[in-house]
Chain A
Amino acid sequence: MFHRRLALLLLASLGVLGVLGLRLAHLTVVSHDTLRERAESRLVRSTWLPTRRGAILDRKGRVLASDRPAYELQVEYRVLDGSWARREARTLARRAIAEAGLGREALTDPLSTAFESALRSHLDTAWSRIAQIVGVEERELRDRAGDVVARVERMHDSIAERRERREIDRLRRSERPLTTGHLESLRRQAGAPIAEQRRPHAVLEDITDRAAFELLRAAERSITIVAELEYFGSFEATVDLLPGVEVRDVSRRERPFERVVVEIDTSTFPGPLRTAEPIELVVERSLDHLLGDIRGRVYAEDAQRRAEAIGSDQEFAARALTADGTDLGQYRAGDRAGATGVESAREHDLRGLRGLRRTRVDTGDRTETGSRAGRDIRVTVDAALQARVAAILDPRLGLAVVQPWHENEFLPLGTKLAGAAVVLDVDSGDVLAMVSTPAPFAPSAAGDDSAAPDDPEQPFGPGIDPNINRAISVPYPPGSISKALVAAEAERRGVYNPRSGIRCTGHYHPDNASAFRCWIYKRFGVTHSDDGRPVLLPESLQVSCNIFYYTLGERLYQAAGRRGISDAYRRFGLGAGFGFGVGPEWPGSIAASISAGGERPINAGESRLLGIGQGPVDWTPMHAASAYAALARGGVQLPPRLYADTPPTDPELLGIEPATIGRIVEGLRKAVGEYGGTGYDMAVDGVREVTFNAEGVSVWGKTGTATAPPLLHDFDGDGPLERTVVREGDHSWYVVVVRGRRGGPSYAIAVIVEYAGSGGRVSGPICNQIVHALAHEGYLRGVPGGAGEVASSGTRP
């Protein structure tokens, strides 16, 4: 039996070793790859090298936004308030005890106490080491740390108090009995750490490159500390030489055109607004709608967007990825990312690629991929022109406030008027200026997206949101400015005979004098055909005859149903956005149907209304400028271009006869430049003044006074049902194409002023000043530019 027992023991040993062997085989064969990767990851130390975000330049190479490198010493809050020592001591003790083997667990508490005191004295040396590196008195450094702790603690206390009060209120309302146990757990929950207590805080801003470098090097090192336990001897542990120390790249975005001083010569303004001396105006944030903002925080969506871009764009992937597929532009905690505007639209180009230094710790072999700065993005906008246009739209100059000669029926004198202006280069489609007033709110200094306060005071009064880019994202009814488009379509479809013309009857229906009236009949009781002659196309534009365009709307409907009038608009770009990516874009709509997701059928009456730019149609100033630029090109459509690096798009022929274009341009020239044209002149305090007064400039264009739905505002914020009308009346349009000497380049300008009433009287003078601004900036050939530069006067902090 003894031998059987021995055999049994041998078998048992074999069994135990067999189990161990299986586990060994599992680790070495099945889990080999993951475990090897885990083990080998320790052999390679990766260091990211800083990079720079690309700049944004204007069409003349002026810097609109660029990075100024800066480093900041940040320290983890738990190191600042000293709680790190306690928690780290606990971890070290647990690890040391675990490594010593089972049975010493009772030592964990005394050992963590011993480690804690060792760590505290280590922290003391670390502070003096940091002070030495950055060249600041240790006392001062500690005072700063103390300030941070005091601030965060105050914050924590007030938040805890608020949480507690809220919870108690909630409990009271629920009418459940409050026990002391309840209260205690409630107090504990309320005292939970806040986010500020879990992240590093800046202790020293703007440290030198050299100090930053030395801190980074020291932060990589570690040191052995010893904890002594009486009777049980000493324990060692390895900790960072500078615990919780981070050197943050806090490069700032500088925007030289954030605040600019613009000198405006008011001698060409409407009479009462003229001053003897030019006015110097400080224009702020005129580029903000365009440039957008950067936030100091990254979201999961940023990384996702980047991954998608890399996945779909081979060229981009080749630029951003290393050989082993590491994305050098990957978002890391604390990175900045474009939030809005160009900063967001061109984020992937602007974002720099970090360098990556990989050191094999065992061999010391190094591979290094240098960092590459982000690409500079050049926009087609001219910053100086943009500032000038913003100044012109600024209520302080008086053009964009309600004035007596506006004859505004609804708004009191002096009301600030919101609006937008777009300037396009006709030849290229380049956006030279794109201004929306009021300018957006200034982002908070922190640069995160908690920028706008919850209920900011609206600078232009209630209901006027400054953060909307009115140049591209607000739907406006086109009004009379679309008459040129309707005329082009009518001749293209052959429903208008250029020789016969259309008789203006004052009202469209012979037996109904109260509907479909011409504006002149409505105001003066006369018609455009009182002399017996029918209205021809050029004249129809000059006098903006409604009956003429009701008729064309009707005829287009008879000829081609709803397509007839809708093509008139779509041909010139309505229905499509611009792909700028700088914010929401309104594509424009005509007879839009939500249920059908497209156009709904329209009837003859609607088609007639659409003929004069009213009814179910809307677009944006960018559409208007682009449409007139297409007319100026002789019927060639070219989408507006915002980025100088986008390849030019193929121009699209609109299929409009040159003769038609000729007649339309002649009409538009008369509308602006001849007596009797709706945009020719206006009465300012009883004196007739010509709208466009720039010498040597050829201007043609069209006014528009578009009936708009009233602006409602929900003052008490209790829902959309009880809203008050804050503004009503017509939107004021003026769209022109200007050119200096013959053969020079021409520009399309579209101006809209919301609820301002007459197109000619409000937008006209603004449009005129934009023409002067173009001349001033040297865009109009043969027209001398003015004196006085647009000067940068400061940057955003």
Chain B
Amino acid sequence: MSLGELVHRGESGLAETLVRGSASKKEISIPAFKLLTPAWLCVGSGLLLSLLGVLAIDLGTDSPAGGLSALAWRQAVFCVVGLLAALVVALPHFRMLSVLAWPAYIASLALLVFLLLPFVPASIVTPRNGTRGWIDLGPVDFQPSEVAKIAYVLVVARYMRWRSSHRRLRGLILPGLIAAPMVGLIVLQPDLGTASLFGPALLGMLIAAGARMRHIALIFAVAALAAPLSYPILRDHQKTRIVGLIRQLQGDTSTASDINFQSYTAQALIGAGGLAGAEDTRARALVRYNRLPERHNDTVFAVAVTRWGLAGGMLLMALYLVWIAGALLTSAITLEPEGRLICVGVAGFVAAQAAVNIGMNLGILPIVGITLPFISYGGSSLLTVWLMTGLIMNVGLHPARPPFRPSFEYDERDGEGTIAAATGRPSGLNIFLINR
């Protein structure tokens, strides 16, 4: 019997004791799994995206006649591994995983430090494109910053689950500080792309957790003011990049052969895709002979649009939207505050990563060197998004356990940080969702 049923039956007494957290496990019985959960949306869309990813990778690589290329096969294997990992993560209750949050955080930091040690031989830390982001594990490379994302979500969710300090401006500082060492170490690799994803993820969690919008607005305003002010202290190369992006958006092609080559080529291919895309061999030839850089990786979106056109691109974006919606719905349904934040956090990461990657393929964001979730080639990347999907499944599968407390329900109008649900009744939407 679920809480929803209790409320529905009007056994408000028991419900209230449950909500207040005084009821014990003995008083009600809760099923171990709740199979009907919106988290399946994430699994479904994730699977479809992974499948399209394998096909897109095959398009971008020379494959022997009649079959998938070696790279695409590897990606398919990674996908299966990712699914298994997701299953492993989904099964134990996330409260148990939550215990591992801080250790995982510490371990991630240790690995990130390890990457930067100068005396580590190149056979263990193999720099790629000038970034020390990977640890060579023989058959696969392992990217600690990917794991760090998950550790970060778990830690922030665990930190904020019972708190309401983020309702005050000062309370926003500490969640930010948790991100700082990770972001700092990743920037040092240097991998600004991955580092830049922590911001949107944290922002999503803070908004969901009920941070005051005026504080958020204040942060945005400060950032908006700081951005132009920081321009003079940027390095010359970085200025060139920003100016280059603006020029390119204005239609200037003078940088098309050097700093904007990738973006320029990606846009040409996307445009060539048209409404329905080019047929298979033509798309392959276009991608290959335009020498699209990172075509199985950062620019795989351009490859997909070349082959499947506007329709394909829209489908990909729709699938991301379904994945995000699945995560947010899972978050909406669960009563566990930590689970709520975990879902929002991983959704933040995936949404930001997808948006930035697609944006740079479309030439409206600078090339930052991050992968497209589920689609881009890479074990670590794929494993991470499937682990994230596993976490959402975990939250979705496990019904809330007592003691229940209404989390992150604040009255927008009062400024004192009181709990709205203390009035005794869950809000209407809450009831509606719980009933489902």
Residues of A within 8 A of B (CB): 1-6, 8-10, 13-14, 16-17, 20-21, 23-25, 27-29, 31-32, 34-36, 38-40, 42-43, 91, 94-108, 111, 229, 231-235, 238, 361-363
B275 touches A20 (CB 8 A): no
B24-36 vs A, CB cutoff 8 Å, 1 = contact: the mask equals: 0000000000000
B368 touches A98 (CB 8 A): no
Q: Nearest chain-A residue to B193 (Cβ)?
A: A101
A360 shortest CB reach to chain B, Å = 8
Residues of B within 8 A of A (CB): 118, 122, 126-132, 187, 189-193, 195, 204, 207-210, 235-238, 240-241, 244, 257-262, 267-275, 281-282, 284-286, 288-291, 293-294, 298, 305-306, 309-310, 313-314, 317, 320-321, 324-325, 328, 331-332, 340, 344, 347, 351, 355, 358-359, 362-364, 366-370, 407-412, 420, 427, 429-430, 433
B291 shortest CB reach to chain A, Å = 8
A38 to B193, CA, bound (A): 29
Q: Residues of B contacting A36 with CB < 8 Å?
A: 271-272, 274
Known contacts A20-B355, A99-B261: A35-B267 contact under CB 8 Å: yes
Select one of A17, A21, A101 contacting B369, CB under 8 A: A101
Q: Residues of B contacting A5 with CB < 8 Å?
A: 207-210, 408
Q: Residues of A contacting B358 with CB < 8 Å?
A: 20, 24
A39 touches B268 (CB 8 A): yes
Q: Nearest chain-A residue to B126 (Cβ)?
A: A233
B433 touches A3 (CB 8 A): yes
Q: Residues of A contacting B291 with CB < 8 Å?
A: 42, 238
Q: Residues of A contacting B241 with CB < 8 Å?
A: 98, 102, 105
A727 to B192, CA, bound (A): 85
A706 to B126, CA, bound (A): 96
A107 to B237, CA, bound (A): 9
Known contacts A99-B293, A101-B298, A233-B122: A40-B207 contact under CB 8 Å: no
Main secondary structure of the interface of A (DSSP, over half): helix
Q: Residues of A contacting B408 with CB < 8 Å?
A: 1-2, 5
Known contacts A101-B129, A102-B193, A103-B191: A2-B270 contact under CB 8 Å: no
B130 touches A27 (CB 8 A): no
Which 10 A-B pairs have CB atoms at the shortest separation, nearest pair first? A101-B369, A35-B271, A233-B127, A362-B285, A103-B192, A105-B237, A100-B129, A39-B272, A103-B190, A98-B259
Known contacts A9-B204, A106-B237: A235-B130 contact under CB 8 Å: yes
B359 touches A20 (CB 8 A): yes
Q: Residues of B contacting A4 with CB < 8 Å?
A: 429
B270 touches A1 (CB 8 A): no
B381 shortest CB reach to chain A, Å = 14
A29 touches B129 (CB 8 A): no
Q: Residues of B contacting A238 with CB < 8 Å?
A: 291
A234 to B127, CA, bound (A): 8
Known contacts A39-B286, A106-B237: A14-B321 contact under CB 8 Å: yes
Q: Nearest chain-B residue to A8 (Cβ)?
A: B207
Select one of A1, A10, A32, A106 contacting B420, CB under 8 A: A1
- Candidate in A17, A98, A99 with the most chain B CB atoms within 10 angstroms: A98
A710 to B276, CA, bound (A): 82
Q: Nearest chain-B residue to A33 (Cβ)?
A: B271
Known contacts A1-B409, A13-B321, A17-B321: A24-B362 contact under CB 8 Å: yes
A41 shortest CB reach to chain B, Å = 9
A13 to B290, CA, bound (A): 32
Q: Residues of B contacting A91 with CB < 8 Å?
A: 257-258
Q: Residues of B contacting A39 with CB < 8 Å?
A: 268-269, 271-272, 286, 290, 306
Q: Residues of A contacting B331 with CB < 8 Å?
A: 6
A94 to B262, CA, bound (A): 12
A6 to B345, CA, bound (A): 12
B344 touches A9 (CB 8 A): yes
B237 touches A97 (CB 8 A): yes
A97 touches B268 (CB 8 A): no
B271 touches A32 (CB 8 A): yes
B273 touches A28 (CB 8 A): yes
A32 to B281, CA, bound (A): 19
A2 touches B313 (CB 8 A): no
Q: Residues of A contacting B269 with CB < 8 Å?
A: 35, 39
Select one of A20, A29, A107, A232 contacting B317, CB under 8 A: A20
A709 shortest CB reach to chain B, Å = 59
Select one of A29, A35, A94, A363 contacting B259, CB under 8 A: A94
A6 touches B310 (CB 8 A): no
A2 touches B208 (CB 8 A): yes
A768 shortest CB reach to chain B, Å = 71
B288 shortest CB reach to chain A, Å = 7
Q: Residues of B contacting A14 with CB < 8 Å?
A: 321
A28 touches B237 (CB 8 A): no
A231 to B189, CA, bound (A): 10
A21 to B298, CA, bound (A): 18
A102 touches B314 (CB 8 A): no
A103 shortest CB reach to chain B, Å = 3
Q: Residues of A contacting B433 with CB < 8 Å?
A: 3
Select one of B193, B310, B324, B351 contacting A103, CB under 8 A: B193
Q: Residues of B contacting A17 with CB < 8 Å?
A: 317, 320-321, 355
A361 touches B285 (CB 8 A): yes
Q: Residues of A contacting B367 with CB < 8 Å?
A: 98-99, 101-102
Q: Nearest chain-A residue to B266 (Cβ)?
A: A27
Q: Nearest chain-B residue to A14 (Cβ)?
A: B321
Known contacts A9-B208, A28-B310: A104-B412 contact under CB 8 Å: no
A363 shortest CB reach to chain B, Å = 8
Select one of A6, A24, A106, A235 contacting B129, CB under 8 A: A235
B368 touches A9 (CB 8 A): no
B342 shortest CB reach to chain A, Å = 13
B262 shortest CB reach to chain A, Å = 5
Known contacts A21-B317, A24-B314, A91-B257: A35-B272 contact under CB 8 Å: yes
Task: Provide a sorted-by-A list of 27 A–B residue pairs whose CB atoms are within 8 angstroms.
Answer: A5-B210, A5-B408, A6-B328, A6-B332, A9-B208, A13-B355, A20-B317, A23-B362, A24-B270, A24-B362, A27-B270, A32-B272, A35-B267, A35-B271, A36-B271, A39-B268, A39-B286, A39-B306, A42-B286, A94-B259, A100-B130, A102-B192, A103-B192, A104-B129, A233-B122, A234-B127, A361-B289
A13 shortest CB reach to chain B, Å = 5
Q: Nearest chain-B residue to A361 (Cβ)?
A: B289
Known contacts A40-B272, A98-B367, A108-B237: A25-B310 contact under CB 8 Å: yes
Select one of B191, B204, B289, B362 contacting A101, CB under 8 A: B191
A27 touches B271 (CB 8 A): yes
Select one of A10, A40, A96, A105 contacting B286, CB under 8 A: A40
B310 touches A105 (CB 8 A): no
B207 touches A9 (CB 8 A): yes
A229 to B127, CA, bound (A): 10
B268 touches A38 (CB 8 A): yes
B129 touches A27 (CB 8 A): no
Q: Please name 8 further chain A to chain B contacts, defined as beta carbons within 8 Å, in addition to the given A6-B332, A13-B321, A27-B362, sorted by A numbering.
A: A1-B410, A24-B314, A27-B363, A28-B274, A36-B274, A103-B190, A233-B129, A362-B282
B262 touches A98 (CB 8 A): yes
Q: Residues of B contacting A38 with CB < 8 Å?
A: 268, 271-272
A620 shortest CB reach to chain B, Å = 54
B360 shortest CB reach to chain A, Å = 9
B130 touches A233 (CB 8 A): yes
B288 touches A362 (CB 8 A): yes
B201 shortest CB reach to chain A, Å = 11
Q: Residues of B contacting A13 with CB < 8 Å?
A: 321, 324, 347, 351, 355
Q: Residues of A contacting B240 with CB < 8 Å?
A: 94
A23 to B273, CA, bound (A): 14
A9 touches B347 (CB 8 A): yes
Q: Nearest chain-B residue to A94 (Cβ)?
A: B258
- Candidate in B209, B261, B366 with the most chain A CB atoms within 10 angstroms: B261
Q: Residues of A contacting B420 with CB < 8 Å?
A: 1
Q: Nearest chain-A residue to B355 (Cβ)?
A: A16
Q: Residues of A contacting B309 with CB < 8 Å?
A: 28
A235 shortest CB reach to chain B, Å = 7
